[in-house]
Structure formats: structure tokens, C-alpha cells
């Protein structure tokens, strides 16, 4: 075992620390994580844990969510600069302006938002439960943001609802790198593959794919699919995990440039230093945390409803 990895694991055990790693993390981070998953799975683990410390290896808004759900625990993040550009596309001021324009509409915000934005919402959703969350809301008109493609995906699944994207031009720069041309150029070489894409990709690519789902849903797809080869249309970090889980299947990136620089800021060395020194610590102002928790709890309540 690598010396740094050995030191990290020993320190983790001694401090009773839960290491949460997003599916897009570097292999060295995935290999030392206690739990790997998407935003929803990581939120659930953060909510359930009895660990004394949480080391969150994901982008900052995810660590904020863990801090909101565990106010008595210390939440660490290896690199404070691991911040999602899309999360900054929808701030609290934008929500307030849209509420004035649509006073009867509900506000459902993607978990890929800051704590301050969540504090202004009625409910939070993820790419895996967005359709269920929005369908459960009483309002016919729902303000949904910040990802336009995900809002369009939800709208198509819920034609009886009026889904209004906020803001109108929000996107994930990684998923914007995919196009229908990626399928065309891979068509002959991987004609027997199943194409799995994230709902943050453009709608025309969603239509051309065999399956559209969150990273956790993409990860589970080979369990029920009869094919042996898959083209993966999301951040390439997920492929490392899929190859480990399904050694008898083959996985290829639909676009090799689909790399999230923010997710990749975390390294094992930074994770070791964060755990050793117990910093940087993720802190959310109490007033914002209380309001944001209400919208997050509402998501969990809807998920538990039959």
C-alpha cells in the first residue's frame, strides 16, 4: 500500500472520520472514501452518520449541505477552491426577483446551489429525484434552477406542470461539452454499446441516448442492462468507479474532455492535510442554515412519501 494512503487510512480510523467522495473524484480519493455517490446519496450519508468528523471530497455546495444537516459535527473539505461554477449562476437575489414576477409559483432549486440560494427555496431536488419532487408540489407553476437542460428534462416528464427555468441560461460547463456529434463519431466503433447520459446534457443528446439519469442511476444501469459495453455521457471520473464495480463490462467516455476541474482539485495529499489539521472547516451562517435546512428536509419528506 502507498505510504500516504496508509497514513491517511490510519488517521481516518483514529479520528472516527467519515470520508464522502463524489463519483467525479480522482481515483486516489475514490479509493479511500467510505462512501461514493451522487449529490443525493452523499446528502443521505451525511444525514445518517454517527462519525465525529466528515471529510467531504466534492464541490463546496455539497460540503455546505453536509454542514447544514450536521450542525454539531465538524465538516472538512480538502480544497476550499473546489466550487461549482453552475452553483453560482443562481443566487438569492435572482430567486427573490422571480418570486415577485410569479408570486403563486413554487421554487424548487437544484442541490447544485449555495446554502444562501437553498435558503430562499421551497424545496431542493437532485438530478435523480427532480421529477418526483416537482410532481409532488401543489403548484402548477414551478420555478426550477439553475440548470436549463435539467429543467427541460423535468418539464418533458411533467407536461401538466409549467416548469420555468431560472435563470434562463444556466448550465454545467462539463456537460455542455457533449453533443450529438459525440454519438455520431462513436456510432460505428461502439455500435453495440448502450449510451448513458446525464440530464444536464443538451436535449438533443438526451433524445439520442439510450438512457438518461443521474450519476447514481447511470452507475446502476449495467445491473439491469443486457449489453456489455457502455458509452458514458457524464464526467469521466464515474468511469473509474464503474470499471471497478463491473469488471466484466466495458466503459468508454462519450467525450474524453468531460473533466470537472473543480472536482479534481482534491488530492489525497490535500485530504490528508485537511484531516491531520482538521481544516479547512465548512461553516454556514446559522440563519441561512436554518432556512436552507427546511428546503432540504422538504425534499427528504417527499422522498419518503408513497
CB 127 within 8 A of CB 37: no
Euclidean distance between CA atoms 211 and 149, whole angstroms = 15
CB 231 within 8 A of CB 188: no
Dihedral pair phi/psi, residue 85, rounded to 5°: -60, -35
Whole-number Cα distances in Å, 146 to 109, 141, 164: 7, 16, 11
Opening angle at CA 226, ends 22 and 257, nearest 5: 40
Name the strand (E) or helix (H) holding 47: helix 39-48
CATH number among 3.40.50.450, 3.40.50.10800, 3.40.50.150, 3.40.50.300, domain 86-171: 3.40.50.10800
Name the strand (E) or helix (H) holding 219: helix 215-220
Per the structure block, which three cell numbers stand in for 183?
A: 454519438
Give per-10-residue mean pLDDT for the chain (306 aa).
92 95 97 92 86 95 94 95 95 94 96 96 96 96 97 98 95 95 78 93 95 96 96 97 97 96 98 97 97 96 86
Q: Which residues pair with 195 in a beta bridge?
A: 231
User: 3-82+263-283, what's its fold?
Assistant: Rossmann fold (3.40.50)
Nearest to 236 by CA among 24, 22, 20: 24
Residue given cell 462539463 in the structure block: 174
Ranges of CATH 3.40.50.10800 domains, the chain: 3-82+263-283, 86-171, 175-253
Euclidean distance between CA atoms 293 and 216, whole angstroms = 23
pLDDT recorded at residue 1? 60
User: 175-253, what's its fold?
Assistant: Rossmann fold (3.40.50)
pLDDT recorded at residue 21? 97
Residue given cell 434562463 in the structure block: 168
pLDDT recorded at residue 53? 94
Amino acid at each position: 500500500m502507498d505510504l500516504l494512503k496508509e497514513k491517511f487510512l490510519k488517521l481516518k480510523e483514529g479520528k472516527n472520520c467519515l470520508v464522502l467522495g463524489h463519483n467525479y473524484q480522482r481515483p486516489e480519493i475514490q479509493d479511500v472514501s467510505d462512501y461514493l455517490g451522487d449529490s443525493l446519496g452523499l446528502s443521505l450519508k451525511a444525514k445518517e452518520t454517527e462519525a465525529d468528523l466528515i471529510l467531504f471530497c466534492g464541490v463546496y455546495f455539497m460540503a455546505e449541505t453536509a454542514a447544514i444537516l450536521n450542525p454539531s459535527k465538524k465538516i472538512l473539505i480538502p480544497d476550499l477552491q473546489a466550487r461549482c461554477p453552475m452553483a453560482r449562476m443562481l443566487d438569492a437575489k435572482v430567486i427573490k426577483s422571480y418570486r415577485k414576477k410569479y408570486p403563486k409559483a413554487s421554487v424548487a432549486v437544484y442541490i447544485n446551489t449555495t446554502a444562501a440560494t437553498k435558503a430562499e427555496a421551497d424545496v431542493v431536488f437532485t438530478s435523480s429525484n427532480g421529477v418526483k419532487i416537482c410532481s409532488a408540489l401543489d403548484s402548477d407553476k414551478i420555478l426550477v434552477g439553475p440548470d436549463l437542460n435539467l429543467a427541460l428534462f423535468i418539464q418533458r416528464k411533467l407536461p401538466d406542470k409549467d416548469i420555468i427555468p431560472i435563470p434562463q441560461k444556466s448550465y454545467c460547463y462539463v456537460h455542455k461539452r457533449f453533443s450529438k456529434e459525440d454519438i455520431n463519431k462513436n456510432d460505428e466503433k461502439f455500435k453495440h454499446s448502450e449510451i448513458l447520459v446525464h440530464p444536464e446534457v443538451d436535449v438533443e443528446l438526451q433524445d439520442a441516448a439510450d438512457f438518461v439519469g443521474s450519476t447514481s442511476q447511470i452507475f446502476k444501469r449495467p445491473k439491469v442492462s443486457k449489453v456489455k459495453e457502455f458509452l458514458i455521457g457524464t464526467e469521466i471520473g464515474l468511469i473509474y468507479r464503474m470499471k471497478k464495480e463491473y469488471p466484466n463490462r466495458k466503459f468508454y467516455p462519450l467525450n474524453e474532455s468531460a473533466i470537472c476541474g473543480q472536482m479534481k482539485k482534491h488530492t489525497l495529499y490535500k485530504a490528508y492535510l485537511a484531516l491531520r489539521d482538521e481544516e479547512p472547516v465548512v461553516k454556514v451562517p446559522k440563519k441561512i442554515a436554518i432556512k436552507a435546512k427546511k428546503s432540504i428536509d422538504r425534499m427528504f419528506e417527499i422522498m419518503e412519501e408513497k
